[in-house]
Amino acid sequence: MTADRKAGILLVDDEEPIRKSIKDFLTDRISCDIHEAENGIDALEKIKHVKLDLIVVDIKMPGISGIDVIKQAKALNPDVPILVMTKWDSSHVIEEAIRQGAVDYVPKPISMAVFGPKIKEILEGSNKYFPIT
């Protein structure tokens, strides 16, 4: 499998168990290279140096918030789609994330029955969805 037949996905969440469960879910189903960041600063460094097809970012993190990551990620790479994860049940927070450039969101705790189809739709939109058969 060539590198261009894999989706580059960045998971940004300060909770390692959440990153692990998402990584396990994705790598069992699609051909992808998963990159992880436990905070916004680490995420921005990866965004600068790694080819990405999707960013999945939590909103509430220590230091730089997910909203700030979205703003800066869009300045660095305006074409990369961003999917937001949030425990906050606030339309204001979600609206702000979308206004800053996120394409969609999933509530936490994450239901993989909701998350999986959203990932598929986003990656299909950029021709980067390669299911493992």
Range of the domain at 50: 3-125
- Say what the pTM is: 0.95
Domain presence at residue 132: no
Domain presence at residue 21: yes
Q: What is the pLDDT of residue 107?
A: 93
pLDDT, tens digit (0-9, with 9 covering 90-100), for 53-101: 999 999 999 999 999 999 999 999 999 999 999 987 678 999 999 999 9
Domain presence at residue 115: yes
- Percent of the chain predicted with pLDDT > 70: 96
Which positions ≥6 away from 17 have C-beta within 8 Å? none
Bridge partner residues of 36 (DSSP)? 11
Total residue count of the chain as it appears in this document: 133
In three-state secondary structure terms, 19 is helix
For residue 30 the two structure tokens come to 């699609």
Q: Kindly report the backbone phi and psi dihedral angles of residue 11, in degrees, each rounded to the nearest multiple of 5, phi listed first.
A: -105, 120
Average pLDDT of the segment spanning 33-57: 97
The CATH number for 28's domain is 3.40.50.2300
pLDDT, tens digit (0-9, with 9 covering 90-100), for 9-37: 999 999 999 999 999 999 999 999 999 99
How many structural domains compose the chain?
1
* pLDDT above 80: residue 4: no
Q: What is the pLDDT of residue 90?
A: 77
133 burial (CB, 10 Å; 0-12 / 13-18 / 19+) is exposed
